[in-house]
Chains A and B, each alone.
Chain A
C-alpha cells in the first residue's frame, strides 16, 4: 500500500436530504413516514404520474418521428418558449418585445448553477444574498463557483412570520449591485411568502438600490393551483425593473409537472428595455452565446425525454387544460393535509400554536419542531423530516396523518415536560 494524493481527500458528510432518504429506505418499521424530500405523493403515499404527463408520453411514443437525437445546446425551443409563456404570462411585455434570453436547464439546480457560473464569470465581485433560512443547496451552488454568499433575514421564529424590516435593512446595506435570490413562491423551507404589498416594497427597494433580482421558481402552480397567482412576484419584478436592470429566473418543472427525476427546467434572463432593436439583438446574441458555452462545457446539451413531455403539454390546449386540473388536484390535497394536521394537533392540545401550518404554502411546512424533536420523531416514531423542522406535507395522507399528529404531540410534550424539570 502506498499513500497518494488520493489519501488527502477529505470525507464529506452525506447530503442532508439524500441522507434522510437513505436512512428511511433502510428503516424496516412498517409504518415509517417520509416527510423529508420534496416530492408529491398521492393519498396512498405513492408517487403520482400526472394524467397530463401520461397523455403526453403516449403522444410522444406514437409520433413516428420520435427519436433520441441530440437537442440544441440551449435545449428544445418548444420547451423554452412555452416555459417563458407560463412564467411571464401570455401578455408579457418582455415576451412581446423579445427581451428574454432562455435556455433549457437540468431542472432548477441546473438553472441556478448556470446563473452562478454566469455571474462568477462576468460579475465575480457581486455578493449573493440568500434568505435565512433557504433551500440547503442554494449556498453550495453559488459557493462552488467561488461567489461570496450572504444572508438576509426572512423568517421570524418568534412570530413565525416574515421579518420584513430585517429583509429591507439587508437590501439597504448590501453593496449596490448585489444579487438577491428570491423564492418566487412557496418559500423553501418555510412555506411562507411575502404578501402582494410586501413584494411591492421588496422589489421597489431592490430596484432603487440597483441590485439584481434572481428568482428561483420551483413551485409555480403547485403552490396554489394557479399559475398566475404563483408567478405574481416574478411578473411584478419584470415590471418594476424593466428600465433598471436584468432579472434572472430559474424555473423548474420538477414539482408542477412531476418531472423530478427527468430534470426539466429553464433559465431566463429578462433584459431591461433597450434604445434600439439592434442593441437588444446584440446583447441577446452575446448572452445566448455565453450560456451555450457554459452548457457545452458540462453537459453538451440537455436531456431530451422530460423536455419533450413538458413541451408537449405546454403546446397543446387540451393537455394544458388537463395539467391545470392536475395542479389543482395536487395543491388541494396538500391544503387538505395542512388543515387536517393542524386540526389533529389542536384536538390533541399539543403545546404551541399550529395555525402556521395552514398559512404556509407549497410542499413544505416549517413546523417549528426543534432538531431534538425531529431526531426523536425519527428514532421513536419512524417519521423522517429535515432537522430544521421542515416537513414535506406531500408525505402526509389520510392513512398516516393521525399517527403523525400523535407522534408530534408525543415529542413536543416529551421535550416541553423535560425543560420544565
Chain B
C-alpha cells in the first residue's frame, strides 16, 4: 500500500506539518517564506536565490522530509519528485518581464530568467536531497486529487521506486497554495494515499 508518510501544507496564513500548525502569518500580512525559513533553522544559502515558487516547494519538501529523518547527503535512487500547479512559473515570468519592458531600462536579469520554468522547483528539491529518480512538473487548470493520485500511482508502477515527493505547489502574486507530501510504499506510518486523504490535507487552511 502507498501511504502519505509526511506532509506540509502552506497557505497565506499558516504552515501545518503532519497535522501540527508550526507557523502563522503575522497580523493581516501574508506568510513570509524567508521568515519561515529562518524560523525553522534551515541552513541552505541557495534558498535566497530562488524565486517564490521554488521557495514554496523547497520549504514544503524540506519540512516534510526532515520529519522522516532523511539526510541531504545520501543519494536517493529510489525517490522521485513530482509536482503540479495551475499557473506554472507565471509569477517569475511577470518578474522577468519587468526587467525587459522598458527600452531605455532594458536589463534582462539572468537570475530571474533561470526560474522562468516551473520544473526548476523539482530540480531544487532533487539537488538539495540528492534525489536521483524521476522529476516531473504537471500543469493543470485546478487542483485535482484524482489527477494527483493517478500520476503518482503510475509512477509507483516503477518497482525500483520507494518514495515520491509530490504535491501541489502554486505561487502567484503573493498567493501561495502548497501541499507537499512524502509518499512511500510499504511503510507503517501514515494514511493511505487516496483521493479522500489527499483532499482532506488540501482542505487544511
A binds B: no
* Chain A residues with a Cβ under 8 A of chain B: none
* Chain B residues with a Cβ under 8 A of chain A: none
